[in-house]
């Protein structure tokens, strides 16, 4: 199957998932809370069920935030890695940063992805060897090479926790809470970098990493190692994602924190 065919499958799945989500209102949707007070709604579950029916074909695996993890996926070369509603808190708050996120991993690498923000009607699609589009128009990472001029994305919790430190940095910090949407914005050049030392679930990053790398950017673990997908457990030890040109500058900036973490 070609990458263009993979992207056609992702595009179609995002479109029909968005139709399902349009039937739910944040004010009326049923919601419960998982571990760490993480919300999940009936909308998350409905989209999860739809995508599970729509995406995997014979021999392909499945990994989703809202499905029990079947380790049989570890024997599959191709695995769909999905967050049916990334940014559930934002969805419930009416903040326009939640997305549907679909990534495809092949032999442990994120090779194709699609992220759709129904509120803003932004569809990000991309695959290795094909490139990235935003609503069909070609897109790419920024060319910014000076960290002092960069737009760095961080979620509101990180900004609150490190407000004094971030206030004195040369780069500009922009708050975007949902990880998938943040990665998509880097892939199209609307932002330049993000990083986090905390573990990141594969469903939060697979689609966005595929987009960034397809657009010419770079994504690694916080320590600078390769990001691998369809592993057990399905988490990476932190992340650094940039337009590529800024990657080494970000790593130098983070070196003291990385050294403290190793002690």
Q: For the whole model, what pTM was predicted?
A: 0.95
The per-residue pLDDT for 106 is 98
Residue 245: partners with Cβ closer than 8 Å, 6 or more residues away: 143, 144, 145
> How much is the pLDDT for 238?
96
Give CA–CA dist 17/109, Å, rounded: 24
Name which of 106, 107, 127 is nearest 115 in CA terms: 127
Instruction: Tell me what pLDDT residue 155 has.
Output: 87
The DSSP secondary-structure symbol of 25 reads -
| CATH number given to 147-262 | 3.40.190.80
Chain segment 34-68, per-residue pLDDT in tens: 887 889 999 999 999 999 999 999 999 999 999 99
Calculate mean pLDDT across residues 214-229.
97
Q: Is the pLDDT of residue 164 over 70?
A: no
Tell the residue number behind the tokens 């330049």, with chain if given.
192
The pLDDT of 206-216, averaged and rounded, is 98
- CATH 3.30.540.10 describes domain 3-139: yes
Q: Are 224 and 251 within 8 A, CB to CB?
A: yes
Tell me: pLDDT of 194 over 70. yes
Q: pLDDT by residue (tens digit) across 82-101?
A: 999 999 999 999 999 999 99
Please answer whether residues 40 and 211 qualify as being in contact, where contact means their C-beta atoms are separated by less than 8 angstroms.
no
Ramachandran bin of 92, using left for φ above 0, alpha for ψ from -120 to 50, beta for the remaining angles: alpha
Q: Is the pLDDT of residue 167 over 80?
A: no
| Inter-axis angle of helices 202-214 and 179-187, nearest 10 | 0
pLDDT digits (tens, 9 = 90+) for 97-154: 999 999 999 999 999 999 999 999 999 999 999 999 999 999 999 999 999 999 999 9
Q: Judge if the upstream peptide bond of residue 233 is cis by omega within 30 degrees of 0.
A: yes
- CB-CB contact of 243 with 213 (8 Å): no
* Domain coordinates in residue numbering, the chain: 3-139, 147-262
Cα–Cα dist 205/235, whole Å: 9
Q: What is the pLDDT of residue 81?
A: 98
Q: What number is the average pLDDT over the span 213-219?
A: 98
pLDDT score for 104: 98
Task: Let me know: does 149 contact 248? Beta carbons within 8 Å.
Answer: no
Residue among 33, 32, 257, 41 nearest 158 (CA): 257
Cα dist. 101→106, 192, 243, 245 in Å?
17, 20, 20, 26
- In whole angstroms, what is the distance from residue 91 CA to residue 46 CA? 15
Structure-model confidence comparison of residues 263 and 148, the more confident one = 148
Mean pLDDT of all residues in the chain? 94
Q: What is the pLDDT of residue 44?
A: 97
The mean-pLDDT minimum among 9-13, 81-85, 158-162, 211-215 falls in 158-162
CA atoms within 13 A on the CB side of 203: 19
- 261 pLDDT above the threshold of 60: no
Q: Residue 1: its pLDDT value, please?
A: 76
> How does residue 257 score in pLDDT terms, banded at 50, 70 and 90?
low
Residue 263 pLDDT > 60, yes or no? Answer: no
The whole-angstrom separation of Cα 193 and Cα 244 is 9
Say whether 147-262 and 3-139 share the same fold.
no
């Amino acid at each position: 199957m070609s990458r263009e065919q993979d992207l056609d499958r992702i595009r179609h799945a995002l479109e029909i998932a968005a139709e399902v989500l349009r039937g739910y209102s944040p004010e009326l949707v049923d919601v419960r809370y998982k571990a760490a007070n993480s919300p999940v709604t009936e909308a998350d579950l409905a989209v999860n069920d739809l995508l599970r029916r729509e995406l995997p074909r014979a021999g392909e695996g499945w990994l989703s935030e809202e499905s029990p993890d079947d380790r049989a996926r570890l024997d599959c070369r191709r695995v769909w890695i999905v967050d049916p509603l990334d940014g559930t808190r934002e969805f419930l708050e009416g903040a326009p940063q939640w997305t549907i996120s679909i990534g495809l991993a092949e032999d442990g690498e994120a090779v194709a992805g699609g992220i759709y923000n129904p509120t803003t009607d932004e569809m990000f699609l991309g695959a290795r060897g094909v490139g990235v589009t935003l609503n069909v128009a070609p897109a790419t990472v920024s060319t910014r090479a000076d960290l002092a001029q960069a737009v760095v994305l961080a979620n509101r919790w990180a900004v609150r926790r490190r407000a004094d430190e971030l206030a004195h940095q040369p780069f500009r910090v922009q708050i975007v809470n949902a990880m998938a949407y943040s990665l998509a914005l880097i892939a199209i050049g609307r932002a330049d970098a993000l990083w986090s030392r905390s573990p990141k679930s594969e469903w939060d990053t697979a689609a966005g990493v595929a987009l960034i790398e397809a657009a010419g950017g770079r994504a690694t673990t916080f320590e600078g190692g390769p990001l691998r997908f369809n592993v057990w457990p399905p988490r990476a030890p932190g992340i650094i994602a940039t337009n590529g040109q800024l990657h080494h500058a970000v790593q130098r900036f983070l070196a003291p924190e990385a050294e403290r973490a190793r002690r």
